A = this chain, B = another copy of it.
Amino acid sequence: MLELDRFTPYLVNRLASRLSDELAEVYAARFGISIPEWRVIAHLSQHRNISVREIHALTAMDKSKVSRAVARLDSAGLVEKKVSGVDRRLVELRLTRKGRQMFEQIDPLALAYERDALSALSPDEERQFRALVDKLLAPRG
């Protein structure tokens, strides 16, 4: 018999929405970007010339969700779009100087929030937790 308080999908979902929402409090009002936009920025901060398709595959955000987030970031001057020379179907994305500066402001705030969110765990537990999440995220047969 299912008990919600012991049902992993339920618990992980509650944890995830809390982490997303609390993190959004850190950047949403202050920098005027939404959760999907933040996710795009975060990905562009470390993958150069990544495409919409790749962000979609990495984040499980819908293709059109990514496309729209990119469009808003583009018109806000935070992201540049450039049709790939190799495959003209692809759009290569990268942060503008302005976008990178915004990321560099959010970066320490995000890391501080993560530390705070994990502060209930000891360093050992934190390592365990990361390792277990990694295992669960690894593609299954």
Contact = CB atoms under 8 A, between A and B. Distances in A.
Interface of A: 1-4, 6-21, 23, 39, 42-43, 45-46, 59-60, 107, 110-111, 113-114, 116-121, 125, 128-130, 132-138, 140
A128 B132 contact: yes
Contact of A107 (B2, B39, B136): B2
Contacts of A21: 60
B136 A117 contact: yes
12 contacts: A6-B130, A7-B110, A7-B114, A8-B117, A13-B20, A14-B60, A15-B16, A15-B137, A16-B16, A21-B60, A120-B136, A129-B132
Chain copies in the assembly? 2
A7 to B, nearest CB: 6
Contacts of A20: 9, 13
Contact of A136 (B1, B4, B110, B118): B118
Nearest to A35: B13
Contacts of A12: 12, 15-16, 19, 133
Nearest to A16: B16
A4 B58 CA distance: 11
Contact of A46 (B3, B45, B59): B3
Instruction: Pick the 7 closest A-B CB pairs, nearest first.
Output: A16-B16, A9-B19, A13-B16, A129-B132, A12-B16, A120-B135, A2-B107
